[in-house]
A = this chain, B = another copy of it.
Amino acid sequence: MKRITIKEIAQQAQVSVGTVDRVLHNRGEVAAATRSKVLEIAKEGNYQVNVVARNLKLNKVYKLAIVIPQDNEYWKDQKKGMEKALDEYSSFGLKATFYTVNRQVHNGLSEAVDLALKKEPDGMVLAPLEKDNFGLLHALANKVPFVLIDASVQDVKPLATIAQNSFNAGVLAAKLLHFGWQNNRKAIILRTMGTDGLNKTIDERMEGFKSYYDNMGWDRSLVVEKLCAVEQGGMVKPCKLEANNLYFVPNSRANEYVSFFSNTDTYRMVGFDLTNSNHFQLKKDSIDFIIDQAPEEQGYLSIQCFYKYWISKVEIEPIHEMPLQIFTKENLQG
């Protein structure tokens, strides 16, 4: 359908574009009769703002602050998606600055946010990885519009939340781990010492995992948690893993545990995040399933939110639940 312009509206209504603009933007100072006449013609002619013209005129620069952890592979992919979007939208004046969160300290996120706020950004993208971020985010809400990625926070109203449902992810992991096998098999959750403890996503996945047993009427004592140490190099310290069992790795390190088995061992393992290492082990069939969070897409979407909010002024889905993407040897790409 053809779209009318304000110039055409002005002609038809016998007024100037200035008046049409005042009507369309409720800037007041317009006689009721004129107003309704303009609105009538606008509706008749299917008027929609020309996003291109508006943004050329406004020619604004929107400063975005992006607050994410230091680069592991997952966050590199997130960043990659963001940069792709930023590049695509660069003509619209979207500019971003990245701020790094130190995950080793308790208030790492808070510190990074404070630093970012000093530059007075127009918007913020951040990942609420730690627990108890309600206060921080509640305070933030009055200062700047923000988008949450990777995890959600209760009772906070961001522009949008882009994340997976970690609880459901845990449930899914349990299903995949047990699928087709007898039910009374022992399942072992492999946790990693250190940052895992601060990360609520891991907790939620484990809760979901265990809830599967409740729903199936199985005994929760079938599930055992094993906490593994980390060596100097950052890799998991070798330990003994029993064959014929089910292994659930609620973080992205499934690939590190694979080498602790001998070649003849049979086991089943489900992990998270399609990192290169996990990809490699999946391809070798050493990991059975990986549940991926599509980090690159998350990153892209987070920036797109602000494009929609500032530029195209389209409605934003407040909660974008990322699908629980299942990968196995046969549906890897590349």
Contacts and interface: CB of A to CB of B under 8 A. Distances in A.
Interface of A: 3, 48-53, 55-56, 88, 90-92, 168, 171-172, 175-176, 179-181, 212, 268, 312, 314, 321, 323-326, 328-331, 333
Q: Specify the main secondary structure of chain A where it touches its partner.
A: helix
B323 A175 contact: no
11 contacts: A3-B90, A49-B91, A50-B91, A52-B52, A52-B91, A52-B92, A88-B314, A168-B330, A172-B330, A175-B329, A325-B325
A333 B328 contact: no
Contact of A323 (B53, B56, B325): B325
A83 to B, nearest CB: 13
Contacts of A48: 90-91
Interface centre among A171, A175, A321, A331 (most CB of B within 10 A): A331
Given A3-B90, A48-B90, A91-B52, A330 B175 contact: yes
A268 B326 CA distance: 18
Given A51-B91, A52-B56, A312-B88, A323 B333 contact: yes
A189 B110 CA distance: 56
B326 A331 contact: yes
A175 to B, nearest CB: 5
A212 B328 CA distance: 14
A114 to B, nearest CB: 25
A90 B329 CA distance: 41
Contacts of A324: 330-331
A175 B181 CA distance: 15
A285 B55 CA distance: 50
Interface centre among A171, A179, A181 (most CB of B within 10 A): A179
A67 B127 CA distance: 42
Nearest to A174: B330
A175 B91 contact: no
Contact of A168 (B90, B312, B331): B331
A323 B292 CA distance: 12
A53 B57 CA distance: 9
Nearest to A324: B331
Nearest to A292: B323
Contacts of A181: 180
Interface centre among A171, A172, A175, A326 (most CB of B within 10 A): A326
Contacts of A3: 90
Contacts of A329: 175
Contacts of A92: 51-52
B172 A331 contact: yes
Nearest to A58: B52
Contact of A171 (B50, B172, B268, B330): B330
Nearest to A329: B175
